[in-house]
Copies of this chain bind each other. A is one copy, B any other.
Amino acid sequence: MHIDQLSDAELAQRLASAESDYAALAASGLSLDLTRGKPGAQQVALSDALDGILQGDYRAADGTDVRNYGGLFGLPEARELFGAWLDAPAAETLVGGNASLSLMYTVIDCALNEGLRGPGSAWGQAERVRFLCPAPGYDRHFSICQYLGIEMLTVPMLAEGPDMDAVEALLRDDPSIRGIWCVPRFSNPTGCVYSDATVERIAGLANLADGDFVVMWDNAYAVHTLYPDAPRLASVRAACARAGTADSLFQFGSTSKVTFAGAGVAFMASTTGNLDTLSRHLSYQTIGPDKVNQLRHVRFLRDAENIAAHMEAHATLIRPRFEAVLRALEEGLGGTGMGRWETPRGGYFIAFDTLPGLAREVVRLAAEVGVSLTPAGATFPYGEDPRDSNIRLAPTFPSQQDVEAAARAFVTCVQLATLRQKAAA
C-alpha cells in the first residue's frame, strides 16, 4: 500500500516491523558492497585468452613491429575496429592506452591550457569557464572539471537523456559555457539511453554556443547490453555532420568492461584536425601507446559480431544480479511511494531515488549494518545532490548471493528511513 494511504496505526505497525527487520540485519553481521562499478571475476575471466594470443606473431597487418616505438594514433587495425565501435572511420579514431579517462582529461587539459583552435583559443584565457553536467552522472567527469577549475552547472537527467530545454536555455544565456558531459547509452547511473531527438539536439549545441564548444561523448557502455531488445543509440557523428558541428564532437570508449578492467584499450574519435591537435599535446607526454596490447585486443575481439557474442556472455553473468536487485526493489517498495528506480537494459548501474532528503540517511543506515553503498551525492557536481535523493547501486561485482542479500538489506534501510520520516512528520 502507498505510504500516503496508511493510517497512523498502520504506519506505526510498518515502522515497528522495519525497525525489527533492521535490528535483525544489524545482528546478522553482513559485509557487503554495492559501490563498485567493476566486473566480477567470472566476467574478466571471459578474456583470459588475451595473454598469449599473439603466439609469437608481433607484426601488425601493415608489417609494424608492435614491440617497438612509434605511432601516437595507435595501430591501423585497432583504429578501424574501435572506430567502428564509435561509428567513426579509422582516420578519425585515436587508440590510446588503458584509460579513456586519460583521453578525456587530455582533451579538457589541452582545450583549457593550450587551445583546440590554435593560438589564443585556450579556454583558460577567459575569466570564467563553465561546463554543463547532466546529473546524476559520472563522478569522475565532474572531478576533472573541479580539479581544473571549470565551474559546473547541473542539468537534470530525464528518461530520454539530459533535459535539453534546460541545456539549450542555459547555453543561450551564458557565453562562458564551453561543453557538456554525456554518457549516452546506459547512462551512469540512470541507465537511460539518449533518444534520437536528444542526440539530434546535442549535435546542434555548438551552433547555439558563443564560441568554442565541445560535446564530451563518453560512450563507456556502447556495447554493454543486458537484453537483446536494449534501445539502440543514434549516431551522434552523423547528427553532427548534418548540423555542421563535427569539430565539437569528442567520442570516447574503452574495453575496460569488455576485456580486462584497467588493462584494456581506450580510444576516441573526433575530426582529423582535432586529433592532430591532441596528438601534438600527447607527444609531450608519451612516445606512443602500448601497441602490443592493442594487437592482442584486435586478435581477440576481431569484429562487431564477435564483440556482441562476447558481451552476451557478460550479460549472462550479470543479468541475474540486476534482476535480483530489481526484484527486491519491486517486492519491498513497489507501489509504496518510498522511491523510484529505473530498469536499465544495459550498463553497470541501477539508480534509485529516495524521497527527498533521505539518500544520506539510507546510505548511513546501510553502512551501519555492513552494506557499503556509493556515497549519496557522489553522482552530482561538487558531490551535492540538491534533493539528497539519488543512490547508485552497482550489482556486477559481488556474488549473486551477496547481491541478493545486499538488495534486501537496502530495501529495509529505505523502508526504515522513509517510515521514520513519515512518522515524524
Q: Is A332 an interface residue (CB 8 A)?
A: no
User: Which of A55, A99, A285, A293 has the most CB atoms of chain B within a 10 A radius of its CB?
Assistant: A285
Q: Is A289 an interface residue (CB 8 A)?
A: yes
Q: Is A368 an interface residue (CB 8 A)?
A: no
Is B286 in contact with A102, judged by CB distance below 8 angstroms? yes
Q: Is A89 an interface residue (CB 8 A)?
A: no
Is A38 in contact with B69, judged by CB distance below 8 angstroms? yes
| In the complex, chain B residues whose CB is within 8 Å of the CB of A174 | none
CA distance A97 to B102 in the complex (A): 12
Is A101 in contact with B285, judged by CB distance below 8 angstroms? yes
A293 and B293 contact, Cβ closer than 8 Å, known pairs A69-B262, A147-B284, A284-B143: yes
| In the complex, chain B residues whose CB is within 8 Å of the CB of A101 | 284-287
A293 and B263 contact, Cβ closer than 8 Å, known pairs A44-B65, A68-B44, A102-B286: yes
Chain B nearest Cβ from A85, distance in angstroms = 20
Select one of B99, B263, B286 contacting A67, CB under 8 A.
B263
Is B262 in contact with A287, judged by CB distance below 8 angstroms? yes
Select one of B41, B97, B140, B292 contacting A260, CB under 8 A.
B292
Number of residues from A at the complex interface, CB < 8 A? 48
Q: Is the interface of A mostly helix, strand, loop or mixed?
A: loop
Q: Is A56 an interface residue (CB 8 A)?
A: yes
CA distance A101 to B285 in the complex (A): 5
Q: Is A200 an interface residue (CB 8 A)?
A: no
CA distance A143 to B283 in the complex (A): 9
Q: Is A418 an interface residue (CB 8 A)?
A: no
Is B67 in contact with A284, judged by CB distance below 8 angstroms? no
Chain B nearest Cβ from A410, distance in angstroms = 23
Give the nearest-CB partner of A70 in chain B.
B262
| In the complex, chain B residues whose CB is within 8 Å of the CB of A36 | 69
| In the complex, chain B residues whose CB is within 8 Å of the CB of A97 | 97-98, 290
| In the complex, chain B residues whose CB is within 8 Å of the CB of A29 | none
Q: Is A403 an interface residue (CB 8 A)?
A: no
Give the nearest-CB partner of A47 in chain B.
B67
| In the complex, chain B residues whose CB is within 8 Å of the CB of A144 | 284
| In the complex, chain B residues whose CB is within 8 Å of the CB of A39 | 68
Interface residues of A in 9-36 (CB under 8 A from B): 36
Chain B nearest Cβ from A244, distance in angstroms = 32
Is B263 in contact with A66, judged by CB distance below 8 angstroms? yes
| In the complex, chain B residues whose CB is within 8 Å of the CB of A47 | 67
Q: Is A51 an interface residue (CB 8 A)?
A: yes
Could you mark each residue 289-301 of chain A with 1 if its beta carbon is under 8 Å from any beta carbon of chain B, else 0?
Answer: 1111100100000
| In the complex, chain B residues whose CB is within 8 Å of the CB of A284 | 101, 105, 140, 143-144, 147
| In the complex, chain B residues whose CB is within 8 Å of the CB of A256 | 69, 287
Q: Is A303 an interface residue (CB 8 A)?
A: no
Give the nearest-CB partner of A52 in chain B.
B52
A51 and B54 contact, Cβ closer than 8 Å, known pairs A38-B69, A292-B260: yes
Give the nearest-CB partner of A286 in chain B.
B99
Is B67 in contact with A290, judged by CB distance below 8 angstroms? no
Chain B nearest Cβ from A129, distance in angstroms = 15
Give the nearest-CB partner of A66 in chain B.
B263
A48 and B38 contact, Cβ closer than 8 Å, known pairs A66-B263, A67-B263: no
List, sorted by A's number, 23 A–B pairs whose CB atoms are closer than 8 Å.
A38-B68, A38-B69, A41-B67, A44-B65, A48-B56, A50-B292, A51-B55, A51-B292, A52-B52, A52-B54, A52-B55, A67-B262, A68-B262, A69-B262, A99-B285, A99-B286, A101-B284, A143-B284, A147-B284, A260-B292, A263-B290, A263-B292, A293-B293
* Interface residues of A, Cβ cutoff 8 Å to B: 36, 38-39, 41, 44-45, 47-48, 50-56, 58, 65-70, 97-99, 101-102, 105, 140, 143-144, 147, 256, 260-263, 284-293, 296
By Cβ-Cβ distance, the 6 closest A-B pairs, closest first, are A52-B52, A44-B67, A263-B292, A99-B286, A67-B260, A105-B285
